[in-house]
Amino acid sequence: MKTTETMESSDPMIVRFTEDEIRLMHLALDRWGLNTQIGQTVEECAELIVALQKYSNRSPQPESIDNIIDEIIDVEMMLAQLRIAFNVDDDTFRKGIAQKFARLSEYLRQG
Ligand SMILES: [Mg+2]
């Protein structure tokens, strides 16, 4: 598992974590354990679901967009911890992403 790599990117679609952030995620997993962090992931996903439902059910408000962004960040942090906990290295992750995007591309081509 690569934990020392820190990549800088100006592309806002690419989430990269610093070495310090990765170290903190390891500490969180050590402190609270996998089951607790799985529960936290479920909770953060649920909060994102609620934020998205509020946005789609009402006329969009600036604070609802802020809430969605906040919950996306929470979920990204928890997913990164799960990647650490389940030893999903960058190569495995990248291959999985490429396969999913190939499938998406095929769906889009089919119309
Ligand atoms: Mg949250």
Residue ranges of the domains in the chain? 19-110
Does the domain formed by 19-110 have CATH 3.40.50? no
pTM of this structure = 0.83
From first to last of its 111 residues, the chain has per-residue pLDDT tens of: 444 444 455 565 667 899 999 999 999 999 999 999 999 999 999 999 999 999 998 777 778 899 999 999 999 999 999 999 999 998 999 999 999 999 999 999 998
User: CB of 74 within 8 A of CB of 51?
Assistant: no
Contact partners, residue 29, CB within 8 Å, separation at least 6: 37, 81, 84, 85
Please tell me whether residue 84 adopts helix, strand or coil conformation: helix
Distance 1 CA to ligand 1 centre (A): 27
φ, ψ dihedrals at 10, nearest 5°: -90, -5
Distance 59 CA to ligand 1 centre (A): 22
